[in-house]
Amino acid sequence: MMKFDEYRAMDATDLAGQIACGNLSAEEVLDCAIDRALAVNPKINAIVTPYYDDARQYVKARPLTGVFAGVPMLLKDLVGEWKGHVTGNGSAACRYDVSTRTSTLFQRYSSMGTVFIGKTNTPEFGLLATTEPLANGPSLNPWDLTRSSGGSSGGSAAAVAAGIVPMASAGDGGGSIRIPASCCGLFGLKPSRGLIPSGPYGELWDGAVSEHVITRSVRDSKAVLAASIGADYFSHSPSLVDWETLSARYDEKKPLKIGYTNQSFYGGTVHQDCVDAVSHGVTILRNLGHEVEEVELTLDAEKLMNCYGDIYTAHVNADVTELIRRFGKRFVRDHIEPLTYFIYQIGTRFPAGKFVLSKRQWSAFSNTMEEWHNLYDVLVTPTMAVPPYNIGEMAGTTLETAFLKLSNRLHVSGWFPPELLYAVSKQQLLKVPFTQLANLTGQPAMSVPLYWNDANLPIGVQFLGRRLDDLRLLALASALEEAAPWFTKVPDL
């Protein structure tokens, strides 16, 4: 029987190789993953829907093929669908919503030979940078059980950090891959807009969302990207980007010109641990031969924050409206969280033209970054402005929650302007001010686990590249991984 220490010592690529050559069986690898889940998931609440028996039957029923044949994997329980299984979206309103189809990306994961063993915790509809849904309870950080695992892919990150699986699916609409990767000491890449299919939904959050995985090794992330890339039948236009096109865009040996900043994009303060993480990363980059200098990046903080808030207002309204059409307003109001319903109500008075104008502002940010990248190949920032926050720290106060509930019950939430919502959200966004930009511009961005503070909490460093420069970022990440290995840094859980 495979021992857990042997299992955790291998990434997904290693496990697949050992299974392929017959040194390990898919059954014993799966048993190890399930045993680990049974041992630690009660402590961290990462997996909300286990599929252990289904996984065992799946492995026995057919020969597995693909780049990750036999490797256990977890699916984020948000948006992505697996036919015959519930897509819960972190909400009590969706608890019994059984999917009648499998989404394109999950089909591609299955074609890689992965074995799905469950679905992971997420905040309701992925709206927060912490995973603490009322429907499922919080996902706890394996490095410190009093801390958040981040959001919205917090369950996926907690499970990978805890050693349950070597990789788990994730999605990023404002930092939801990078923030949990930072909180949990993992590697997280948000791919360029349009590389990863989002069928059968078309563009998610008007293209702000990119789906991918959270992993412990860079090569696992790269291999998943290679096998996921490309448009599907639901794309608005065929993708002209394939793996060969991406590969031709960069010279792996070319020294890079890199700019870094610790200045919050929203004007708030940045914790010294996060500044130290960037300084540590800069030292490694210079030792690797790259030209690195501190820069100032001029962004309109109010417009950036409002653009991001407008995504929430428009899309939450659309999503909740669809739930109301299916289940009725009273049921939905009583089964979604007060903040979600409050946003929905505000969205009922949010003009379509205002959202179109907001979307046009994305192009202005894209132009700013394109001009910046004429001077620099990569931008380096902290991933977050603070170390992993405490459970409950990102939630509203008791008074705020009572206000939301009362406003919803009295049906007056819709009379408040979106600006009130944005003002309330500002304190939370000031903790994670660096990640939303890449979602608006469509750039690739990654969080790399290069630093642990004195409390042994991981602090990620973010790297942003030009559009479609995903492989340049991955090559840089591989070099950083070799220069400052993190794979053997695991929580004592």
Domain of 448: which CATH number? 3.90.1300.10
Whether 28 and 10 map to the same domain: the answer is yes
Percent of the chain clearing pLDDT 90 (strictly above): 86
Q: What is the pLDDT of residue 467?
A: 94
Give CA–CA dist 205/312, Å, rounded.
8
Going through 286-394 in order, the beta strands assigned E by DSSP cover 291-294, 378-382
422: confidence class by pLDDT, cuts 50, 70, 90: confident
| Domain membership flag for residue 265 | no
| Domain membership flag for residue 410 | yes
Residue 236 has pLDDT above 70, yes or no: no
Name the pTM for this structure.
0.97
Whether 31 and 128 map to the same domain: the answer is yes
Task: State pLDDT tens for residues 35-67.
Answer: 999 999 999 999 999 999 999 999 999 889 999
Residue 234 has pLDDT above 80, yes or no: no
Q: What is the pLDDT of residue 238?
A: 55
For residue 86, what is the DSSP state? B
Of the candidate ranges 53-67, 218-232, 235-249, the one whose mean pLDDT is the lowest: 235-249
| Domain membership flag for residue 309 | yes
Q: What is the pLDDT of residue 163?
A: 98
Give CA–CA dist 425/326, Å, rounded.
29
Is residue 443 within 8 A of residue 464, CB to CB? The reply is: yes
Q: What is the pLDDT of residue 112?
A: 98
Average pLDDT score, the chain: 95
| Domain membership flag for residue 154 | yes
| Domain membership flag for residue 277 | no
Over residues 326-337, the mean pLDDT reads 95
398: confidence class by pLDDT, cuts 50, 70, 90: confident
Whether 458 and 363 map to the same domain: the answer is no
Whether 243 and 344 map to the same domain: the answer is no
Domain that holds residue 64: 4-254+434-483
Whether 419 and 334 map to the same domain: the answer is yes
Is residue 445 within 8 A of residue 435, CB to CB? The reply is: yes
Q: What is the pLDDT of residue 299?
A: 96
233: confidence class by pLDDT, cuts 50, 70, 90: confident
Whether 418 and 438 map to the same domain: the answer is no
Q: What is the pLDDT of residue 240?
A: 62
Whether 89 and 205 map to the same domain: the answer is yes
Whether 369 and 463 map to the same domain: the answer is no
Is residue 160 within 8 A of residue 148, CB to CB? The reply is: no
Side chain identity at residue 294, one-letter code: E
